[in-house]
Structure 1
Amino acid sequence: MDTDMETAESIQADVFVPTKLLRDKIRQFSQRHREELRAKSKDALRFGLGEIHAQVEELNNITVKDVLGLVKRIKRRKHASVEEMYRFSHAFLQSIDNIKIFAKEPGALQIIIKELTGIDSERQIGAVECLCNLSLGEAPVCEKIANLAGSYLVTYLDSLDERLKRTSLWTIANIMATSAKAALVVVQMEIVSKLWNLYIDDSGDKDLTSDFREDAAVCLQLLVVQNRQVLRMEDLNFIKCNMCLKKRDGIGAEYHLQLLFHGEAINPKRELNMEESIYLIDYILENLCTIDGFTSISNRLRLLYGIRLLANILACQPHALNVLLQHIKEVFNTNVEDMFNKMFAYRSQRLTMELIYLLRQLLSLQENETQPILTLENLRIANMDSCMT
């Protein structure tokens, strides 16, 4: 198996989904929720619109002083109402200073977490949304959330309430993106199997507005790529043993090969069986032979990691070559040279480097074949100096 970390890191830098995208998603969801509440208020109350407008403006301008006032109020009662948690949520979105001042107040976080312990779903949702926006803070804040509320967040991944489940996923993603210590805490709560089962579940519809698969994929990406050191052997074995359950056309499928690569599913110490080899080869070739273009992150994830994994499969399991060649010819009605030339034509330096590594593997195996796999003269390798990154 190849150990060229520089190349692996270059792929990672090229296709790692920035956590800013997830955080923007949280903000957009909160903004939509606020607009929905405003619309409902107007529908229910055809009078007093000026008062409603003033309340909305107040939510958009919560200061540190306001946060301190809210903290003082909930500490006095040892309880936070849904409205107070809603105000905290907006305060944390608006300013990192609001997050910092709340985190410094002894006992304030514990009061929010206390609202998770009851059976009132509205209070639970209010508390989790509060924690989600609080997790936009720095590492110490995220570590406190993981330690004090991690077990609740992991449990809510099994919830039937979509809003509770989605917000818990976002909170978990935030704390893992911010702190390796927080990531370790939730990993020890058996989160990997829960995330993986959410990710591979392709039984539902493809309505992205009520879907958890991509959010689960982002969480897994944060673990296997950014926090690989916190994963246990049983976590990696679980991923490998269940990798064949993900469909290539399922939501979040573009992350699949990246997760398998960084999760070391293809490893000389963990031999692939025939079913796994066929699944991976078919999955990868479907990407290589049907995808047109290399500009989107989705296509880059599928192509770069597909080529790298294919090379590693051949390095670890040379007998897989016959399966590969048979599928290229009989299933996808093409040949190795045309497949390579299609991807060389994208003129990407990073993609070309990966293709050359795969080419080295094929040429090494070709020495033992009676028929040539390919002819170098037929490959149209672009000048590396003229390639894009």
Structure 2
Amino acid sequence: MDEATVRNQKRTELNLERQLHRKAEIDINRTGLGEMLQEAQEIENITSQEIKGLASRIKRRKHADAKDLLKLSYGFQQSAENISVFLRITGSINVIVKALTGQSSELQELAGECLCNLTLGDEVCCEKVATFAGTYLITFLENLNNQQINSTCIWTLQNIISSGVKSMKVLSSQGIVARFIHLLSETGNDLLYTEILLAIDLILEYKFDFISKDLVLVQLLPIISSKKPQLNSLKVLYKCLFLIRFETLHQNTLIQVTNHCIESFAATLRQMSHTTRCAETVLAVRILANLVATNEAPYSNMLLSESQQRNVELANLFNANSEAGHIQICREFLWLFGNLHIAANQLQLEHIELANLLQNLNVPEVLVCC
């Protein structure tokens, strides 16, 4: 599967997710508009002609009120044609941007939702949104006083990033990568942190086109591995490490990444959540297995030692997944254990902890036969 197809699939998945809860988000956050909610129920089918008329009207007035923005937001969600018609009215998008940057928090939220739904269109639409609103969307990420605006802006940026190279180039020229890295390091907002990790993951689909190898080594890996592990952090760590072929890591970063993965295992064991954290476990195991394979043999000793210090029994985690029938996870673990065994042989010593670990495995029969 080529890169463009993968990016397309990711974008489709993102768009479907956004569309599923966009109407609910609009309604939930319109608590003070009363009658407008009733109106919203009456505009489920907005024609492109209505969108054209509305776009022309707000352009002429150089202003959009709450009703205008709500109707546009619903209209953009309903069809790609509505989006295209709106953007063909030169200057109409400027009115939405003006509302986004104005003083009214109500209009800011509605304008943000309009822009988010505009990015459900094609790459041309996303490029226009990036050009006219990109810098504002990026700046609003630091507006922690308004969670709704915060979330809508990062969703919009994710849509733009995943739409294609041209749109991403616009955001890159506006300094989005540097701002994301700053927020990864500084934000105390867990939801924003998770969403920025997803955005970084999408940017890494372009490999080193917008994020340099040095930036990965010096900033991304150290920052992310120093934080609490989660699915998105492991996704980004794995993708970064894959791009640099799991090599050239500074020793401190190597230790941090290792501990990040082990802490993910520890959380799984503490919460007895091996059945709900399968993706995290697979990613953590793959990271460690590759690091064992690409580093000097003493790394395996460090890995086992760090696991022991955190009371992480790898055999227990393996056996829990074996009992639950997670064959793929068990296969990944066996690859890790095999690499550890090879490393121990290179050191020409029998690692007692590793020997005990291997003896206590309950390997699924389907894997024993392989």
TM-score, length basis structure 1: 0.77
* Partner residue, 1:147: 131
CA drift at 1:359? 2.5
User: Cα–Cα, structure 1 residues 193 and 350, in superposed 2: closer, same or farther, change >3 Å?
Assistant: farther
User: Cα–Cα, structure 1 residues 272 and 344, in superposed 2: closer, same or farther, change >3 Å?
Assistant: farther
| Mapping for residues 109-148 of structure 1, pairs under 5 Å | 109-116=93-100, 118=102, 121-148=105-132
The one of 305, 308, 324 aligned to 1:329: 308
User: Cα–Cα, structure 1 residues 269 and 277, in superposed 2: closer, same or farther, change >3 Å?
Assistant: closer
User: Cα–Cα, structure 1 residues 18 and 295, in superposed 2: closer, same or farther, change >3 Å?
Assistant: farther
| In 2: Cα distance, 1:52 partner to 1:121 partner | 16
| In 2: Cα distance, 1:354 partner to 1:161 partner | 43
| In 2: Cα distance, 1:31 partner to 1:129 partner | 11
* Partner residue, 2:202: 222
Moved more, 318-327 or 111-120: 111-120
Residue type at the aligned position of 1:283: H
* Partner residue, 2:155: 170
| In 1: Cα distance, 2:11 partner to 2:332 partner | 17
| SS across alignment from 1:236 | helix
Structure 2 residues not aligned, in runs of 5+:
none
Residue type at the aligned position of 2:57: R
CA drift at 1:110? 3.3
User: Cα–Cα, structure 1 residues 377 and 273, in superposed 2: closer, same or farther, change >3 Å?
Assistant: closer
Residue type at the aligned position of 2:149: L
Residue type at the aligned position of 2:216: L
Q: Is the 8 A contact 2:11 2:159 kept in 1?
A: no
The one of 352, 364, 368 aligned to 1:382: 364
The one of 21, 37, 51 aligned to 2:32: 37
CA drift at 1:254? 2.2
User: Cα–Cα, structure 1 residues 268 and 282, in superposed 2: closer, same or farther, change >3 Å?
Assistant: closer
Aligned CA RMSD, in angstroms, stands at 3.4
* Partner residue, 2:350: 371
| In 2: Cα distance, 1:197 partner to 1:79 partner | 34
CA drift at 1:332? 0.8
| In 2: Cα distance, 1:65 partner to 1:366 partner | 71
| Mapping for residues 313-324 of structure 1, pairs under 5 Å | 313-318=291-296, 319-324=298-303
CA drift at 1:70? 0.5
1:256 aligns with 2:233: yes
Q: Is the 8 A contact 1:156 1:164 kept in 2?
A: yes
1:348 aligns with 2:326: yes
Residue type at the aligned position of 1:30: I
| In 1: Cα distance, 2:167 partner to 2:121 partner | 13
* Partner residue, 1:284: 261
| SS across alignment from 2:286 | helix
CA drift at 1:141? 0.8
TM-score, length basis structure 2: 0.80
User: Cα–Cα, structure 1 residues 106 and 171, in superposed 2: closer, same or farther, change >3 Å?
Assistant: same
CA drift at 1:59? 3.6
Q: Is the 8 A contact 2:201 2:236 kept in 1?
A: yes
| In 2: Cα distance, 1:169 partner to 1:111 partner | 21
| In 1: Cα distance, 2:311 partner to 2:63 partner | 62
| In 1: Cα distance, 2:227 partner to 2:338 partner | 29
| In 2: Cα distance, 1:84 partner to 1:361 partner | 61
* Partner residue, 1:308: 286
Residue type at the aligned position of 1:242: I
1:13-48: CA deviations, max 9, x gaps? Answer: xx99941334434333113124x235xx3xxxxxxx
CA drift at 1:362? 1.0
User: Cα–Cα, structure 1 residues 56 and 325, in superposed 2: closer, same or farther, change >3 Å?
Assistant: closer
The one of 207, 210, 224 aligned to 1:231: 210
| In 1: Cα distance, 2:316 partner to 2:149 partner | 49
* Partner residue, 1:80: 64
CA drift at 1:132? 1.0
Identity of aligned residues (%): 25
| In 2: Cα distance, 1:215 partner to 1:132 partner | 15
CA drift at 1:73? 0.9
1:187 aligns with 2:172: yes
| In 2: Cα distance, 1:159 partner to 1:219 partner | 18
* Partner residue, 1:45: none
CA drift at 1:98? 1.9
Residue type at the aligned position of 1:374: A
1:260-294: CA deviations, max 9, x gaps? Answer: 110228755532323x3333333322333452455
